[in-house]
Amino acid sequence: MRRPRRSVPAVLTALVLLAVCAVVTTALVQRLLGERPVLSYDTVAARVHDTSWNELPVLVGGGAAVLAGCVLLAAAVLRGRPVALALAAAEGIDAGTPRHGLERSLRAAAEDVDGVAGVRLRLGRRKVRLKVRTNRTNRDGLADAVRAAVEERIERVGLAEVPDVRVRVRGGAR
């Protein structure tokens, strides 16, 4: 199944590297032109030469670099939520449905049930959680009706792994 792209960490890393490259390039061009550079090489070299390994700025910078590296490594290695969910195989054909489309379809199925004023849906790997809001004074049987409508829609879509449907009803009289 398709997994999400890791575009946010990649864009942030690219922006940081671009900013560093822009500052260094600007300083080098200014130095070549004989102007006072934004970032003086001599000042940076003297500061680095005078700093020892066990000073606080070095330790904080090293810790931040290690933390950023671990976060980027985790973003690259850990699996994200699938973008598409597998459909039941039919005669050797592999197919999937987009997660957002399935969420919209399940939400619409729940909203079509009589007495439902609003729906919050969370589609997990093994569960579909619905929080249904109603204006009814008597909400008996509403959770079962919403569950049946959503399960029927899931069956019609034909997912390879059928998730468990959990419904909570809010509002109305108990």
Task: Please state, in angstroms and as integers, the Cα–Cα distance from residue 11 to each residue in 8, 23, 106, following that order.
Answer: 5, 18, 33
Of 99, 110, 126, nearest in space to 167 by CA: 110
Domain limits, the chain? 7-77, 84-170
pLDDT digits (tens, 9 = 90+) for 83-139: 778 788 777 777 888 888 999 999 999 999 988 999 999 988 789 999 999 988 888
What is the rounded distance in angstroms from the CA atom of residue 111 to the CA atom of residue 165? Answer: 15
- CB distance 115 to 134 below 8 Å: yes
pLDDT digits (tens, 9 = 90+) for 133-152: 998 888 888 999 999 999 99
pLDDT digits (tens, 9 = 90+) for 22-53: 999 998 899 899 898 888 888 888 988 998 98
CATH code for residues 84-170: 3.30.70.1350
Cut 0.85: pTM above it: no
